[in-house]
Structure 1
Amino acid sequence: METKIQKWGNSLAIRIPKSFAKEAKLDYNTEVEMTIEEERLIIKPVKYKKYKLSDLLKEITKHNIHKEIDTGQAQGKELL
């Protein structure tokens, strides 16, 4: 598909057809990553890695565990 680059304020803009957006899993306000590769503009949705607490806890060792931090007396309902 061919399209034209438009002016948007001091920037340039390209309209993404609905069919392209759907196939690329893009929606209004989707965070995207833009890169240039061999004079090509690549736009793709940002994918965040989902972590499980159990996997994160497995990574704690005696070498990287933080010491307890004294923050003073409880001010509210921090301690139940």
Structure 2
Amino acid sequence: MNTHVQRWGNSLAIRIPKAFAVQAGLEVDDEIEIVVQEGQIILTPVKTKSYSLDELLKNITPENRHDEWDMDVNVGNEAW
């Protein structure tokens, strides 16, 4: 498919047709990596894994847990 490069502020932009976005699994606000290789622009979806709180906490042990940290005196509305 051919398309046109258009101006978007001081940058250039292209539109990704819906069918291509669906095939690539892209949605609005998804992050993509842009690379130029041998004069070609390559767009790659960046999929980050979501972790549950249980997954994040499961490897914390008394041996690797940080101690409490006192930042000195409270200032302004920080006191509670």
TM-score by length of 2: 0.61
Q: 3-state SS of the aligned residue for 2:26?
A: coil
Residue type at the aligned position of 1:15: R
Task: Report the alpha carbon displacement of residue 66 of structure 1 after superposing the two structures with TM.
Answer: 0.5
- The 2-side partners of 1:60 and 1:39 are apart by 47
- In the alignment, structure 1 residue 41 sits paired with structure 2 residue 17: no
For 1:67-78, list aligned pairs within 5 A: 67-70=67-70, 75=80
Tell me how far apart the structure 2 counterparts of residues 70 and 11 of structure 1 sit (CA, whole Å).
Answer: 47
Distance 1:23 1:66, change over 3 A: same
TM-superposed CA distance for 1:6, in Å, is: 2.1
| Percent of paired sites with the same residue | 51
Q: Which residue of 2 is the match for residue 59 of structure 1?
A: 59
Q: Which runs of 4+ in 1 moved over 6 A?
A: 71-74
Residue 67 (structure 1) shift: 0.3
Cα 1:58–1:29, aligned 2, differ >3 Å: closer, same or farther?
Answer: closer
Specify every segment of 5 or more residues in structure 2 that has no aligned partner in the other structure, as ranges.
none
Alpha-carbon shift at residue 47 of structure 1 (Å): 1.5
How many residues end up aligned between the 2 structures? Answer: 74
**What is the TM-score when the length of structure 1 is the normalising length?**
0.61
The unaligned stretches of length 5 or more in structure 1 are 76-80
